[in-house]
Amino acid sequence: MVPLNYFLILAAILFCLGVIGFVMKRNLITMFMSIELMLNSVNLTFVAFSRHINVLSGQIFVFFVMVIAAAEAAVGLAIIVAFYRNRESLNVDEVDRMKL
């Protein structure tokens, strides 16, 4: 039986790696992947606590977070494609106007 703390520490490390990737990267697609990494680490925390206190609701929340992640990926990647079509670039520094 692995203690709860181990899962929390793993989730914390994954979240921090996601933050580093999000701030350091200049490429829109890789930044998006870092966001997915952070979402995953939060999901891991949810499942670990759900197991620890033996309440199933945490797993339902993870299910909804996954739904949100799917919707976010669809809309976000569509925005990236539209941006690339107009600027021929994926550098986040060039995203300075709302108008396409």
Partner 1 sequence: MTFDQILFYCLAAIAIISALMVITRRNPVHSAMFLITTLFSVAGIYLQLHAEFLAAVQVIVYVGGIMVLFLFVIMLVNLEVVSTERRFNKQWIIALIASAVLLVEFGYVIVRGGKSSLLPPVTGPAQDLTRKNSEQIGLMLYQNYMLPFEIASLLLLVAIIGAVILAKRRLASDK
**Site residues (CB under 8 A) for partner 1?**
1-2, 5-10, 12-21, 23-27, 29-30, 32-34, 36-37, 40, 43-44, 47-48, 50-51, 53-57, 59-60, 62-64, 66-75, 77-82, 84-85, 88-91
Q: Please identify, using beta-carbon distances, which residue of 7 and 95 lies nearer to partner 1.
A: 7
In terms of CB distance, is 81 or 99 closer to partner 1? 81
Least distance from partner 1 to the Cβ atom of residue 66, Å? 5
Nearest to 42 by CA among 10, 73, 70: 10
Q: Are 19 and 35 in contact (CB under 8 A)?
A: no
Vertex 70 angle, CA 69 and 75, to 5°: 100
CA 46 from centroid of its chain's CA atoms: 14
Give yes or no for a contact between 50 and 57, defined as CB atoms under 8 angstroms apart: yes
Nearest approach, Cβ of 67 to partner 1 (angstroms)?
Answer: 5
Cβ closest to partner 1, residue 64 vs residue 97? 64
